[in-house]
Amino acid sequence: MCGIIGYIGRQEATPILLDGLKRLEYRGYDSSGIAVAEQNRLTVIKRTGRVESLFRAVTATELHGRCGISHTRWATHGRVSDENAHPHISSDGKIALVHNGVIENFEQIKKFLLEQGYAFQSDTDTEVLCNLIAYHYNKQSAGEGGDRFEQAVRKSLLHVEGTYGIAVICTEAPGKLLGARKGSPIVLGVGQEEFFLASDVSAFAGRARNVAYLDDGQVVVITPSAFRIATVLDEMIAPVLSKLDGPVEAPDIGDYDHFMQKEIFEQPRSLENAMRGRFSGDGSTAQFGGLNMEPREIRQIDRIVLIGCGTARHACLVAEYLIERYARIPVEVEYASEFRYRNAPLDKNTLVFVMSQSGETIDTLEALRESKRKGYRTLAITNVVGSSIARESDGGIYQHAGQEIGVASTKAFTSQVLISAMLALYLGRLRDLSFSYGTEMVRALRAVPELAKRVLEQADAAARVRDRRCPQLRC
């Protein structure tokens, strides 16, 4: 749930970082912070509570510089406190770090660093990684080959176990911003003489039109004029820049009381978007352009495995019934968190589908990788274009539901269920589902958005019944 936004370029970093944090508030958090580098000096401000508390603290401080990092934290290691909030600073004051993920061997590393004289102000695994980078940085002499800051980050990442998406700055390299990823998303935004690092493209919406998604084990080194991507072992990677399709706007709550309410009422549109352009000309079946499978390949499928976590898994359970009923293909639903640890026997003609709203669900992503390692065709149903699951799958179906801010899924879930019904129809028509039954199903599916709209038009009446029967629930 944590959010990262970093900046380096020709503008003052602070307003851009604070705006990015505001755009990331939907992810849920309990504290936030910012660190800006200027003239070999780091200025760090952190506050618990809403981002507004950080805004007030920053406004009361002279915070200047053109390179910085910021973060919204959801407490994992350690309680909610200013000390545990990100960014974390190394005990020698040279390194500042923000981090999403979990460093699993932080206790062993912390014990080693304590023996080396490093001090800790927080209970977090992130501060351990920050001090580890400082340790490797200070071990190198000024004249040692390679860039000290870059090499310190690379050497540190080789020693950590777990997951991370990080952004790092150094007092002695104020014109450099580093990012790295393993299991937690980091995306590079490319603007006009400025660059952004974030956990979500919405953090720099409207400021960058091109992005590069880091893969696991990659490090990006950014200066105000250029960037380069390499592996942790410093093997160069040719960057793949993608143009953002359409405007990526900051979340806007509009006239609704909260985002969940807004997204409930967006369901007719999200359901319509899920179907748009996905029915055949004769109206008898669904069609999907991104499956990357020929009909003859699909007809050879003997079994389907659906994989997901949480709400996505519930959608998989619905899909199981629909596909078995209409396509007559045996289906099994797996918890993503268990799939890669089980030695599940899969037939050679098995097709695997993973389902994830964000496309970054770590257990689902690892299940996808395990399925591909075993040689199975693995497709995805996801809502986020360019997400890790979308990029690593063999093909799939985008939901086109729009950004979902609310933690309890609404429009993304109903979109997944609708796509599942369309998939069942498509698979059934490739087998023995009749033309007439297919056209009947298409008519029924096309009616779903209007039916959802009619239900939502009863919201005021439902609220009046609620207020009469359960006055204690009145808002």
CATH code: domain of residue 137: 3.60.20.10
Indicate the number of domains in the chain.
2
Residue 452 and residue 377 in one domain: yes
Residue 239 and residue 265 in one domain: no
Output the pLDDT for position 362.
87
In-domain check, residue 254: no
Q: pLDDT-based confidence at 145, cuts 50/70/90?
A: very low
Q: How far apart are CA 139 and CA 130, in angstroms?
A: 14
**Mean predicted confidence (pLDDT) in 325-330:** 96
Mean pLDDT over the full length of the chain? 91
In-domain check, residue 365: yes
In-domain check, residue 95: yes
Whole-prediction pTM: 0.80
In-domain check, residue 189: yes
Residue 239 and residue 273 in one domain: no
In-domain check, residue 474: no
Residue 99 and residue 161 in one domain: yes
In-domain check, residue 252: no
Output the pLDDT for position 473.
59
In this predicted structure, the answer to whether residue 304 has a pLDDT above a threshold of 80 is: yes
In-domain check, residue 397: yes
Q: Which of 196, 215, 243 is the last residue of a domain?
A: 243
Output the pLDDT for position 256.
84
344 vs 279, residue with greater confidence: 279
Residue 347 and residue 202 in one domain: no
The arrangement of strands across the sheet holding 396-398 comes to: 331-335, 303-308, 350-356, 378-382, 396-398
What is each CA distance from 296 to 52, 208, 250, 287, in whole angstroms? 57, 42, 43, 15
243 vs 123, residue with greater confidence: 123
Residue 226 and residue 288 in one domain: no
Residue 85 and residue 165 in one domain: yes
Residue 203 and residue 273 in one domain: no
Residue 307 and residue 433 in one domain: yes
Q: pLDDT-based confidence at 245, cuts 50/70/90?
A: low
pLDDT in tens, 178-213: 999 998 899 999 998 899 999 988 889 888 889 999
Residue 116 and residue 36 in one domain: yes
Residue 265 and residue 302 in one domain: yes
Residue 319 and residue 444 in one domain: yes
In this predicted structure, the answer to whether residue 249 has a pLDDT above a threshold of 60 is: no
pLDDT in tens, 255-296: 888 888 899 999 999 999 999 999 999 999 999 999 999 999
CATH no. for residue 421?
3.40.50.10490
Query: Quick one: what percent of the chain has pLDDT higher than 90?
Result: 72
Q: Which of 186, 215, 243 is the last residue of a domain?
A: 243
Q: How far apart are CA 245 and CA 281, in angstroms?
A: 27
Q: Which of 58-72, 247-261, 302-316 has the lowest average pLDDT?
A: 247-261
Output the pLDDT for position 420.
97
C-alpha torsion 442→448→449→451, nearest 10: 140
Range of the domain at 67: 3-243
Provide the β-strand partners of residue 452: none
Output the pLDDT for position 363.
92
Is the preceding peptide bond at 471 cis, omega within 30 degrees of 0? no
Output the pLDDT for position 474.
58
Q: Which of 243, 273, 295 is the last residue of a domain?
A: 243
Output the pLDDT for position 68.
96
* Residue 205 tokens, joined: 């919406």
In-domain check, residue 305: yes
